[in-house]
Structure 1
């Protein structure tokens, strides 16, 4: 199975080096740049994600293949319009996958890893969860609609490669038509911000139009404060990967009512029963 992400790793490494060099030779007091421990943690999280996906993608491929075989539909890979439709459909699904992984706490427990850095550079893009298991159901409908599993996985990889390059402070706002349609470094900085007016904004993958349509768009105005509203203050990869699952476990254990236990799992990262004190890590950017 062709894995675009693996082939892109040398490009990622080169771009990381160039961005670090740019901060060294052209420092900017308004940009945080790189911090060795933070970047090392991000790289460790990325490598762990790759290792987990070696086995997990086989499971995903098997499920997509089973659904595809059962579907009466089969879209031709040699038709350019198939790829156009797949691009739009994949990006639409990514928007809702991303949004729900910020608004449902058990999903946030996995995704919070990506937002746990207080820096914003290309290494931050590599800070990925070691528990990617909740993403699979979102893309099953594409297999049912007749998209071949390898096409779905390839388009997912294209989206991830694109999103790598928008994790940077080095690029300001782009030409307005691009900013209107595409997810850009400026839009994604907002998404990673813990500023109050930046919370729960800009979920888009490649396109930003879904945020404009569904009311979650916010333009970059004030300086972005990166990280969580309650930062975890650790560079330990294991703690980064598991801290919110541990917090959920504590909250569920101490909750007396079953509806409260369910609330700690299924409601937002900031939810708690009236009068209770939660051990949660709050969402940073929706």
Structure 2
């Protein structure tokens, strides 16, 4: 096993970039940082590090055990690292997508979305309870193909490092070719938004091409102000509530639900209820689209010329 952790080496860079962004925010966007919110994000990062130390070894041991059943012996070469990085990012896309579409996974991932601010410190809001979701299983196919668990861990570390810099409002758009292939601050702002048009979009880690391929891409619209956070905001800076509130909600919902609906509160999408008393992201987006259609129809009726197509 290589004794190399890219994320640990990147920590000083993370700190330096947060300080630089704070200086920028004081002059250009004073609302970007809120002291209590930033402290909560830092506490999230510390707790996540501790959680990783406690449970990471067990997952690595499991991967090493599974590696004995590999189909091939993938060498430690540059092309293998490149291929592993791409495939690891594809696996990340799917575990991230499940993190938004299955409440069991969302209970862990919601931590990352709990801030109503969007800055580099938000990137530190990593889960403490990821081990409960068993999301590591999405990367087991890479182990069984023959990629060494150490190689996968290194690639995952660089993936996490890449995602740090896209948590900012200080950068508008990157060059068009870059926006077409890579995940960027613009694309990831969409992912963190609660606006109906943006809900559950842009799951990519590094390569935005996965969202374009699988129909989950949404471009940022310049004339619509982004609202960050979660649909039902926490309304609190209490760290433990921020970490565990969704797990508590799952237990409460399952306790109260009829027997035939209990698993739905665990395995269905966030917001699902057996009686329709809450809304899922799909329901929110559909209602918004219907309202947009009604507004367009109203404008077309009031001004028939505006609704006519121009001649070819």
**Considering the TM-score relative to the shorter chain, is it more than 0.5?**
yes
Pair 1:275–1:136, CA change in 2 (3 A) = closer
Q: Could you tell me which of 82, 98, 101 is aligned with 2:80?
A: 82
User: Which of the numbers 119, 124, 127 marks the counterpart of 1:121?
Assistant: 119
Change (3 A) 1:124 1:102: same
The TM-score with structure 2 as length reference comes to: 0.86
Look up the match of 1:230.
232
Match of 2:101 in 1: 103
CA distance in 2, matches of 1:72, 1:58: 24
Per the TM alignment, residue 84 of structure 1 is displaced from its structure 2 partner at its CA by 2.0
Q: Distance in 1 between matches of 2:278 and 2:90?
A: 36
Q: 1:281 to 1:47 in 2, by over 3 A?
A: farther
CA contact (8 A) 2:42 2:121 kept: yes
Change (3 A) 1:43 1:272: same
**How far apart in 2 are the matches of 1:237 and 1:186?**
28
Structure 1 residues 185 and 90: alpha-carbon distance in aligned structure 2, compared to 1, 3 A threshold: same
- Counterpart of 1:39? 38
Higher helix share: 2
Name which of structure 1's ranges 217-226 and 2-11 shifts more when overlaid on structure 2.
2-11
1:153 aligns with 2:136: no
Aligned to 1:60: 59
Matched, 1:9 2:7: no
Superposed, 1:163-242 pairs within 5 Å as 163-221=163-221, 222-242=224-244
Q: Structure 1, unaligned stretches of length 5 or more?
A: none
CA spacing shift, 1:98–1:283, aligned 2, 3 Å? farther
Query: SS of the residue aligned with 1:249?
Result: helix
2:271·2:278 contact (CA, 8 Å) conserved in 1? no
TM-score computed with the length of structure 1 as normaliser: 0.93
How much does 1:283 deviate? Answer: 11
Shift of 1:274: 2.2
Distance 1:255 1:243, change over 3 A: same
User: Residue by residue, what CA displacement relative to the aligned partner does 1:139-172 show, whole Å, maximum 9, x if unpaired?
Assistant: 1111101001110000001000000010000000
Kept in 2: contact 1:230–1:282 (CA 8 A): no
Judge conservation of contact 1:203–1:216 (CA < 8 Å) in 2. yes
Q: Which has the larger displacement, 117-126 or 55-64?
A: 55-64
Q: 1:2 deviation in Å?
A: 2.0
Report if aligned partners of 1:101, 1:107 keep a CA contact under 8 Å in 2: yes
